[in-house]
Amino acid sequence: MSQVFSEETHRNMLARIPHCTGREISDWLRTVEDGPSLFRFEEKVSWLRHEHNLAYGHAKAIIHEYDLRRAARKLL
């Protein structure tokens, strides 16, 4: 069962990721963009966790942000 974060919690997680990982969010979003073409959310989270040794919450926040930004691009 996956956790559902509030918008505030999501923003707080994103703010902590650079400190915890040593990489900016934009770097992580490019990593996801350049990564394998996985379809399901949890597959992407699992890939980030195992390939880049990220905590579940950080991986989930990165994929959620990636999906939000990708959806926003489609609306423009």
Distances (CA, A) of 63 to 33, 60, 76: 10, 5, 20
pLDDT, position 37: 93
Domain ranges of the chain: 3-75
pTM (predicted TM-score): 0.88
Position 75: which residue type?
L
| CA 16/CA 37 separation, integer angstroms | 26
Q: What is the pLDDT of residues 10-52, one digit of tens each?
A: 999 999 999 999 999 999 999 999 999 999 999 999 999 999 9
